[in-house]
Amino acid sequence: MTHLRYRWFALLVVVLLLVGCRRGAEDQVAARPTTAVTPRSTHLPPVPTAVPVGSEDNPLQVMLLPSESGRSQRAITQAADDLQPALAAASGLTIELTLADSDADVLAALCASTPESVTVGWMSGVGYAAAAAADCGTAALQVARGAADGARTGDDVTLVVNRDADIAAIADIDGKTFCRLDAADLQTNLIPSVMLRASSGETPVTPLETTDYDDLDTLIDALVAGECDAAGMSAAAYDERANAAVRAATVALTPRSAEIPFAVLMIPSFLPLAQRASLIDAFVTIGNGAQADSLRPILAHDEIVRAEDADFVRLRTFFSQAGIDLAALGT
């Protein structure tokens, strides 16, 4: 009996040893570390960083179309040379300034702007209308002339006729002799042509012939003398020169044109807002401050004033009512 008890005890010890060994083996298996795969980074191809407009490596292009200020070309060029560093200092931008020969030059550069290369430009009122119609920029500033309450931002054009020419309305100019300074002159030919077209409906009014004169005073004298039947000119210029003798011999017809701005700064949408604000503030500071003489020979301004497209609704309507393709005006 005692011998049997020893056998059972020995068997129990063996079972316990086997169980312990198995647990140890399981614990060793569970604790065995695994090898993790470390991901390797893949280098992406380099992406070029855009150079900001107005930086040293990407200057902002600024074009100015000189107004008829009576200044010599030498004075205008000298003013531009003085303006460029002044504009750069006031705006904090790197500027390349160019004097344009025509609205067409400014319009082409405005419309060719991209986010990487931007041109802004001062242009005439007709040039503004063309750029706005082509969606190549928005108005930011304009020129004012005159002092205080007498300041004007543009001129409206009137058609003046000889009293003996039997002209009671604009449409009556059809077939008459028309005086102008030259074919490219804004106030004595281009805007009057739009007015004649607008007044006639589908058939444009066509003068019998045109005669060119050297200056406005000579033109008005010819109109008074009956050498020509009609002429177009700035309403302000006519009022200034219309003494008793002139008013006795001539009549200014109505309606007048819309106000044609003297000069407007157009800025493409590609120019970032920060650079846009800096440039606008710089022009205002220079044009209205102690450095105004570096801009005045070019724009013939008394003040630089802020502007927006809403200021020129009547101007754009004036051209559209005449059936003029505004997008072609600058060419």
Instruction: Supply the pLDDT for residue 327.
Output: 61
**23 lies in some domain:** no
Give the end of a domain, one of 208, 231, 252. 252
Q: Which residues contact 73 (CB under 8 A, 6 or more apart)?
A: none
Give the end of a domain, one of 252, 279, 314. 252
**1 lies in some domain:** no
**15 lies in some domain:** no
164 and 140 part of one domain:
no
Q: How far apart are CA 43 and CA 39, in angstroms?
A: 13
Are the CB atoms for 255 and 272 separated by under 8 Å? no
89 and 166 part of one domain:
no
278 and 301 part of one domain:
yes
**278 lies in some domain:** yes
Q: What is the pTM of this model?
A: 0.81
Give the end of a domain, one of 220, 252, 284. 252
Which structural domain range is residue 183 located in?
A: 157-252
187 and 231 part of one domain:
yes
What is the pLDDT tens value at each position of the chain, 331 positions in all? Answer: 444 444 444 444 444 444 444 444 444 444 455 555 555 655 555 555 579 999 999 999 999 999 987 789 999 999 999 999 999 999 999 999 999 999 999 999 999 999 999 999 999 999 999 999 999 999 999 999 998 788 999 999 999 999 999 999 999 999 999 999 999 899 999 899 999 988 866 566 788 889 999 999 999 999 999 999 999 999 999 999 999 999 999 999 999 999 999 999 999 999 999 999 999 999 999 999 999 999 999 999 999 999 999 999 999 999 888 877 766 554 4
Q: What is the CATH number of the domain that holds 239?
A: 3.40.190.10
Give buried/exposed letters for 176-196 (b at 16+ CB in 10 A, else e). bbbbbbeeebbbbbbbbbbbb
Radius of gyration of the chain (CA): 39
164 and 115 part of one domain:
no
Q: What is the CATH number of the domain that holds 92?
A: 3.40.190.180
Question: Which DSSP string corresponds to 123-143?
Answer: E-HHHHHHHHHTT--EEEEEE
For residue 139, what are the β-bridge partners? Answer: 266
**54 lies in some domain:** no
245 and 264 part of one domain:
no
237 and 278 part of one domain:
no
| Number of independent structural domains in the chain | 2
110 and 132 part of one domain:
yes
Q: Which residues contact 298 (CB under 8 A, 6 or more apart)?
A: 64, 66, 67, 69, 76, 79, 80, 83, 99, 122
121 and 269 part of one domain:
yes
245 and 166 part of one domain:
yes
**187 lies in some domain:** yes
**12 lies in some domain:** no
74 and 138 part of one domain:
yes
**88 lies in some domain:** yes
Are the CB atoms for 79 and 295 separated by under 8 Å? yes
Instruction: Supply the pLDDT for residue 19.
Output: 42
Instruction: Supply the pLDDT for residue 184.
Output: 86
143 and 276 part of one domain:
yes
